[in-house]
Chain A
Amino acid sequence: MGDGTAASTTNRGHSSSSNKPEWLQQYDLIGKIGEGTYGLVFLARTKSAANRGKSIAIKKFKQSKDGDGVSPTAIREIMLLREIPHENVVKLVNVHINHADMSLYLAFDYAEHDLYEIIRHHRDKLNHSINQYTVKSLLWQLLNGLNYLHSNWIIHRDLKPSNILVMGDGEEHGVVKVADFGLARIYQAPLKPLSENGVVVTIWYRAPELLLGAKHYTSAVDMWAVGCIFAELLTLKPLFQGAEVKAMSNPFQLDQLDKIFKVLGHPTLEKWPTLANLPHWHQDVQHIQGHKYDNASLYNVVHLPPKSPAYDLLSKMLEYDPRKRITAAQALEHEYFRIEPLHGRNALVPCQPGEKVVNYPTRPVDTTTDFEGTTSIQPSQPVSSGNAAGGMPGAHPSNRSVPRPMNVVGMQRMPHQSMQAYNLTSQAGMGGGMNPGGIPMQRGAAAQAHQQQHLRRKDPGMGMPGYPPQQRSRRF
């Protein structure tokens, strides 16, 4: 480290417009793989000899528009990623600064898959459920990453299928990486309520205490989300698919709570003593206390025998009282993980012979977009070479994959990575040993993109039955 920092100032390649900044020359840009409120996510390959051809996801953060310097989201994500190296957490391999527009580029190890796409593939293309080995392995690794975060006092706050990445072919094939830490917080300090951050996150995975107006959150909110994701892995459908109330500052989400109560039954003070203190429950403007929900039966929804270990674990994750909800550490010890099939490191490829291996499609890449987000002339590279070759059942016939409807991909935020290697210092940073890891997608995109998202959301049909755009979340 050291003095290099000083030196890295040079990126001045922006004489006029299209000159590639120096740091960019170490990559072959393949194309855009996602976009969201904060910027774009690109797929690139390294050129350096050591890691030639290695896939990297580059998440570009735009400078915040309010004229107040470097995006706090980017800074927060970077600073956390620097401190948390873990196999099940995305790996940030480098940070680049483009001085021309003061934008930050976070380079992550690329992950080919995410749970959103895996679930969608099973639901829409294969029409059959995910095998038990894969579900269990995905869940175990997700919990393992989360346990690490929680024991480091970090709450993710925005877990959802699109933020849970899975590595494609390679040494880490089938390894889960928790990504997108833009909303994550260290919770030693009192956290500001979501609304104060002006944050918009998807409500489907939001814990009931938050929906009822709790001002402080605990790591239990992440466990609720894991429960929702677990159920979704089992059924291929979001468990609590409430219609979101759009309004300024964290409005009461009646429909979301209604969906939860229908499945889990009415919460009661016996089961959840602190319920009475939660503002939305207490004020009860919309008379939610008076609703009656009969026949609540989670096991019917998820089609699990009520006595099964899987059901037991799921119901403990979906415990109303956050203080009684199972923790990540406890969940890892649960009986579910001790019975056959046992979980494995490569979640996508079962060790048992006879199990069918699913070839999941690779991420579509929009090869017409350059780093500036503008369309370029660059002929499409042999993009799909590596990637596409593998899987892509049907979906993308041509060589060049079609960008997905924005929702899909884009949203995840970048992953983080472990940090150590950041070599920010010189542009060259990446060279070193980067490992596999991260995945990127980000959510944020340009303003325009953002608007589009909104438009899309309003469109009821959305073309994806049941699947909302991924909610990308946050913005300031």
Chain B
Amino acid sequence: MADFQTSTHRTKWIFTPQELAEKYSASNQRAIQILEKYGSTLMEVDVDGSLSYPEPHIAAKDSAEKHSRTKPVNIEEEQFMRVFYENKLQEVCNNFHFPHKIQATALIFFKRFYLQWSVMEHHPKNIMLTCIYAACKIEENHVSAEELGKGISQDHQMILNNEMLVYQSLEFDLIVYAPYRSVEGFVNDMEEFFQVADDQFQMLKGTSKMEVDKIMLTDAPLLFPPGQLALAALRNSNAQHKVLDFERYLRSMLSHQNYSRTVQELLEALDAVDSWVRRYKFPSEKDLKHINRKLKSCWGQSSHDESKKREKKSKHKSKKSSNETHAPSHG
């Protein structure tokens, strides 16, 4: 939809860095409280799409000791997990040769989802796949859950179970704006503005898209509108190729549009985008191992049998436990 100004993307899903930090902290805290209360955090998503937290362990005393050994993941570690699975998400999309737009939509869905939840509550692998599935549906590139599941040897029922949860967590705001189109638009505009050979622009466009790929893996898409992300990418790409006078372009663009910002403000925003890219950290093998170990215990997967048992029981008790889910979310 053309009108970004009135979109839910702009009005609801662009945050300040502080708001973002608060959200991450709130869901992390909530999961930690649940861990303390129940001894594990992974929510179960039933076939019918309803959710429930784990049952408190029956042998309360025994488990109390055990719980004290179960360490929650911290905020930074959550970030690492998201980063790891966002990379996976790109990989899966590339393997399926999905268009950029789908990948970008899925990534934004994934990021928004984990503003509401902790990775301790919903396995990022499942959510990643469900986000891809949902993005395909939204972008009219329908791929059946079965096909998607097969392609990556995962149970597709898990995708279907999580689908409604994902839409709900996204508050059904499913139209998202990715910077790739903005890049196209700006390059077209620049072509009119500067008399430069076409192949130069093609080169600029190509590297800009790679820059956007990098930006998409950071939190920047939750902090800046897609146009600014695109400009940041173009600026970096132009710095490599020196195709045009970028600031001159910005000045002319701002003077032509009724844009309330000054060039200076815009440049600061682009700098901020750059700094998110610079600060981007991919977890080391060792980090991952460590986090995965913690997550497994948070998910109560240390003892296989026990989790199996829980699955069965949840059918009967889930009603109760799901009622309890209300409270923690406000905590």
Contacts and interface: CB of A to CB of B under 8 A. Distances in A.
A6 B172 contact: no
Contact of A425 (B3, B46, B171): B171
B322 interface: yes
Interface in A403-425: 419-420, 422, 424-425
Contacts of B169: 5-6
Q: Which of B1, B26, B51, B145 has the most CB of A within 10 A?
A: B1
A83 B1 contact: yes
B117 A83 contact: no
A3 interface: yes
Given A10-B322, A75-B137, A85-B6, A5 B171 contact: yes
B48 A100 contact: yes
Contact of A102 (B52, B139, B140, B164): B164
Contacts, number: 133
B37 interface: no
Nearest to A84: B1
B2 interface: yes
A279 B273 CA distance: 49
Nearest to B50: A99
B307 interface: no
Interface stretch (B57-65, B248-256, B292-300, B323-331): B323-331
Interface in A66-117: 66-70, 72, 75-76, 78-80, 82-85, 95, 97, 99-102
Contacts of A82: 8, 172-175
A374 interface: no
Interface stretch (A36-44, A147-155, A158-166): A147-155
- Interface range, B side: 35 or more
Interface in B97-131: 101, 116-117
A9 B51 contact: yes
B319 interface: yes
B322 A9 contact: yes
B7 interface: yes
Given A3-B26, A72-B142, A189-B139, A83 B319 contact: no
B255 to A, nearest CB: 25
Interface string A1-26: 11111111111101100000000000
Contacts of A424: 168, 171-172
A69 B172 contact: no
A153 B169 CA distance: 26
Given A3-B330, A15-B319, A192-B140, A79 B171 contact: no
- Interface range, A side: 35 or more
B175 A79 contact: yes
A160 B279 CA distance: 54
Contact of A12 (B6, B139, B165, B322): B322
Contact of A7 (B133, B140, B329): B329
A186 interface: yes
A178 B202 CA distance: 42
A184 B325 CA distance: 37
B262 interface: no
Nearest to B157: A67
Contact of A69 (B1, B116, B163, B329): B163
A189 B48 contact: no
A398 interface: no
B298 to A, nearest CB: 17
A100 B169 CA distance: 18
Nearest to A476: B142
A188 interface: yes
B164 to A, nearest CB: 6
B174 A75 contact: yes
A6 B116 contact: yes
A11 B168 CA distance: 13
A152 B8 CA distance: 14
B1 A154 contact: yes
B19 to A, nearest CB: 10
A78 B139 CA distance: 14
A7 B175 contact: no
Q: Which of B27, B159, B168, B319 has the most CB of A within 10 A?
A: B168
B162 to A, nearest CB: 10
A289 to B, nearest CB: 34
Contacts of B2: 151-153, 188
Interface string B140-175: 101011100000000000011001110111011111
A381 to B, nearest CB: 29
B40 interface: no
B174 A99 contact: no
Given A7-B326, A78-B174, A102-B164, A69 B142 contact: no
18 contacts: A2-B23, A6-B329, A10-B323, A10-B325, A69-B159, A70-B167, A75-B138, A79-B174, A79-B175, A83-B7, A97-B164, A99-B48, A99-B49, A188-B181, A189-B101, A192-B140, A420-B8, A424-B171
Given A68-B145, A79-B175, A100-B48, 14 more contacts: A5-B329, A6-B51, A7-B329, A10-B50, A66-B144, A69-B163, A78-B172, A78-B174, A79-B173, A83-B6, A152-B2, A154-B1, A192-B140, A424-B168
